[in-house]
């Protein structure tokens, strides 16, 4: 199987938002033009930043906004391949603008990763917008027909966790190679919804729905990657900011290491004159080294709604780092 993003210890990954423009208005979109910029980067800048961020064994995800809206996405992909990124993934909502499937080959792209948040239009389109389900399914079929490897991302929230159990029957005929389960981050639009707390998933709901679906999809021969979310008492908390290199790059030059920080100007780095400049304290990197009973510091600060406490004031479960994930490989 082709390589893709790993989400593990001792890995290096670049999540490059080449544009913040998008054709959809998803309820859980995390893009904020004030914090991230509203422009699409020129290809010359993209190429320079790809050079800057690339080291040995670096995985690359190109995303937006919707990256296929960028007229030079194909050039960015080909350049990244030419300079030796270990894997190249394109995250897309499935509309596949710009005839991108005709402009790149299976040698250029390791995965097209499609976002689908429900097993049917009634659920998915309530979250992502009318027509999104149909276009995503059509996009997956088009990519597979041309021989591209395809993965599917399902972002779990209280809006759709009940429907996760229906995904195995949907994805079987789609012939995907990887299934990613993500948990909603209370950031961007979801942080400003009047009832944003209702989007978060409880320990009971997570354990009721997710592990069984992971096993069922793996039994289909599809690799599954999913976040741990809730740590058991014997498990050690680890922050990806301590044990791996993750860079979330935005068009305005901000570079974050933790996606939960992206609503705030506390980014670790900024790209200035094609140099990666560390930001002065206090920024997110100082927070990664704090040890608290709740586990993830950023979760405690920005989305504490998924933390519960016992009668003695101790957290019932520590929250794991959202970037360090478990994988069940194809069997």
Mean pLDDT of 93-101: 97
Residue 185 CA to residue 108 CA, distance in Å, equals 31
Confirm whether pTM is higher than 0.75: yes
Closest CA to 322 of 259, 264, 267: 259
Alpha carbon separation from 26 to 226, 240, 288, 294 (Å, rounded): 21, 27, 29, 30
For the chain, how many residues are written? 331
In terms of pLDDT, which residue wins out, 88 or 188?
Answer: 88
Give CA–CA dist 268/60, Å, rounded.
Answer: 19
- pLDDT at 50 (0 to 100): 98
pLDDT band at 232 (very low <50, low <70, confident <90, very high): confident
Looking at residue 194, its pLDDT comes to 53
H helical segments located in 146-236: 167-171, 203-219
User: Above 70 in pLDDT, residue 193?
Assistant: no
Which pLDDT tens digit goes with each residue over 40-73?
A: 999 999 999 999 999 999 999 999 999 999 999 9
Superfamily of domain 12-237+320-328: Aldolase class I (3.20.20.70)
Q: Which residue's structure tokens are 């998803």?
A: 26
Q: What CA–CA distance (Å, rounded) separates 102 from 79?
A: 17
Place of tokens 């209370």: 186
For residue 9, give Cα distances in angstroms to 113, 197, 238, 321, 325.
Answer: 22, 30, 9, 11, 9
- How confident is the prediction for the chain on average, in pLDDT? 93
Please write the tens of the pLDDT for every residue from 17-36.
Answer: 999 999 999 999 999 999 99
pLDDT at 298 > cutoff 80: yes
């Amino acid at each position: 199987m082709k390589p893709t993003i790993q989400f593990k210890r001792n890995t290096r990954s670049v999540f490059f938002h080449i544009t913040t423009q998008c054709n959809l208005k998803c309820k859980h979109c995390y893009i904020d033009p004030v914090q991230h910029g509203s422009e699409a980067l020129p290809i010359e800048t993209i190429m320079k930043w790809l050079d800057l961020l690339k080291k040995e064994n670096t995985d690359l995800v190109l995303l937006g906004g919707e990256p296929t809206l960028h007229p030079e996405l194909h050039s960015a992909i080909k350049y990244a391949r030419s300079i030796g990124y270990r894997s190249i993934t394109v995250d897309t909502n499935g509309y596949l603008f710009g005839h991108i499937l005709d402009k790149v080959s299976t040698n250029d792209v390791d995965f097209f990763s499609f976002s689908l948040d429900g097993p049917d239009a009634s659920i998915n389109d309530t979250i992502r917008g009318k027509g999104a389900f149909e276009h995503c399914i059509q996009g997956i079929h088009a990519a597979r027909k041309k021989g591209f490897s395809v993965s599917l991302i399902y972002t779990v929230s209280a809006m759709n966790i009940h429907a996760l159990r229906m995904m195995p029957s949907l994805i079987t005929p789609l012939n995907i190679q990887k299934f990613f389960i993500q948990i909603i981050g209370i950031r961007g639009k979801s942080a400003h919804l009047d009832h944003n707390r209702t989007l978060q998933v409880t320990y009971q709901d997570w354990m009721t729905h997710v592990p069984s679906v992971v096993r069922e999809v793996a039994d289909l021969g599809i690799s599954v990657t999913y976040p741990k979310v809730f740590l058991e008492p014997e498990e050690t908390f680890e922050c990806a900011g301590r044990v791996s290199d993750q860079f979330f790059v935005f068009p305005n030059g901000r570079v974050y290491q933790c996606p939960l920080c992206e609503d705030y100007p506390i980014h670790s780095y900024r790209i200035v004159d094609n140099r990666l400049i560390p930001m002065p304290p206090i920024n997110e990197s100082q927070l990664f080294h704090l040890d608290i009973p709740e586990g993830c510091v950023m979760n405690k600060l920005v989305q504490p709604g998924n933390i519960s406490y016992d009668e003695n004031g101790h957290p019932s479960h520590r929250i794991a780092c959202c970037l360090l994930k478990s994988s069940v490989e194809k069997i």
